[in-house]
Amino acid sequence: MNRRLYPILLLLLLSFTACQNSGTTKVSATGSIYECLVVMPSRPLPQPQIVHSASAYDEDIVTTYDLVKAVMAADMPCLPQIEPYFKLTHVTPQAFDDFLKPTRNILMIDIDSARYTTTKAKYSVDYWSHPQALYRIQTPDVESFMAFWQANGQAIREWFVQQELQRQIRFYRASTNKTARAALQRTIGIDLLVPEDYMLIKDTTDFVWCCNNKGSLRRDIVVWSYPYTDAKTFTLDYLNRKRDEVLGQYISASVPGSYMGTEYKFFPPTFRYVSALPNAADSLSKHDFYAAEVRGLWKMYSGEAMGGPFVSLTRLDSLGQRVITTEVFVLAPGQKKRNPLRQAEAILYTLRP
């Protein structure tokens, strides 16, 4: 399997330094999940730029903050409505005071030719509060910052995403559904931190389905496995066909003959390879963990007008010569779906064979 990794690994090629205070009890972080405070000057760029691919529409990028916003607040892919990766709040360095220091996610960018001759970056965890992710960039001028951000902005955004996923994983560890975990161990041969408020829906040969149904918001987890017989398994086309085959067989709606499938026409699924969460307090970080990630929209065919976003991770169990797919999908009519999907997505990274 081609083990290309997402640009987050570019971080490992840079001389970043992780800092962390110790000895004192941290105050609780403020702010909501997938919100980020950007502390930086808003300097004019040498010439305006146009971003075509980061959002659903073209925007003029005329300041340094615009450049950051185009990446950090770009549209998250494969959602049925426009939602950003992060909701941003922007303040100048002069306005960054003790009240703002406990913020959950902070991106600090200092542009000062009198203090810096080269661009440096470092990240910290739990620096002023807990849980907190702090990323700092120090650079001498606008041109140097532009070059650094264009090369590493998406990887920095992914670092903040990974911090949020790790926090969610730690939350799930405190309380899990033992019945669902036992079913996964017995049927699929894996362990997965299924949260306690998910119920076991189906447990059959090579397929397990759990659900968290809370009023108008529903999150589902499905896991299935099959023999590894084709080197083309880890491609978008193969995984799409396998998803439609398996979920079309097991998942239906109230209308007889309805079945779950994938939306291809308006929001085609996306594909990438991912690795284990970096620096995770999870034993997965101690093992090679490569997976194919597919994001897209699901829909019901021949039945009700139902649909929503999904994300799946597919990995190879080399000892058992089989393929294991874990997927979460969300149904939340009329609601924003980024946070529910991200919260459920963290469960996928807790898989252990």
Tell me how crowded residue 238 is: count the other CB atoms within 10 A of its CB: 16
Q: In a structure prediction context, what are the per-residue pLDDT tens digits for the chain, which is 353 residues long?
A: 444 444 433 443 343 334 444 445 789 999 999 999 999 999 999 987 766 555 555 678 899 999 999 999 999 999 999 999 999 999 999 999 999 999 999 999 999 999 999 999 999 999 999 999 999 999 999 999 999 999 999 999 999 999 999 999 999 999 999 999 999 999 999 999 999 999 999 999 999 999 998 888 999 999 999 999 988 899 999 999 999 999 999 999 888 889 999 999 988 999 999 875 544 434 334 444 578 999 999 999 987 889 999 999 999 988 888 999 999 999 999 999 999 999 999 999 999 88
Measured CA to CA, the distance from residue 13 to residue 15 in angstroms comes to 7
- In three-state secondary structure terms, 145 is helix
**The pTM is what?**
0.87
**Each residue's pLDDT tens digit, 250-301:** 999 888 889 999 999 988 999 999 875 544 434 334 444 578 999 999 999 9
- Tokens for 101? 């220091």
Q: What's the sign of the alpha-carbon dihedral 175, 178, 180, 181?
A: positive
DSSP states of 188-212 as a string?
A: TS-B---BTT-EEEEEETTEEEEEE
Q: Is residue 105 within 8 Å of residue 92, measured between CB atoms?
A: no
Burial of 100 (0-12, 13-18, 19+ CB in 10 A): middle
Pairing outcome for strands 35-39 and 87-91: parallel
Q: Supply φ then ψ for residue 27, to 5 degrees.
A: -75, 160
Specify burial of residue 44 (Cβ count, 10 A radius: 0-12, 13-18, 19+). exposed
Query: Of all residues in the chain, what percent are helix, strand and coil, respectively (each to 5)?
Result: 25, 35, 40
Segment (H or E) for 243 = helix 236-250
Bridging pattern class, strands 322-331 and 307-317: antiparallel
Q: Which H or E element spans position 340?
A: helix 338-348
Pair 136, 108: CB distance under 8 Å: yes
- Amino acid at site 138: Q
Per-residue CA distances from 306 to 40, 46, 102, 208, 240 (Å): 43, 48, 40, 21, 19
Alpha carbons 77 and 44: distance in angstroms, whole number: 29
Determine the Cα–Cα distance for residues 331 and 272; give it in Å rounded to an integer.
Answer: 24
CB burial readout 6-28, b (16+ within 10 A) else e:
eebeebeeeeeeeeeeeeeeeee
164 closest CA partner among 351, 349, 331, 312: 349
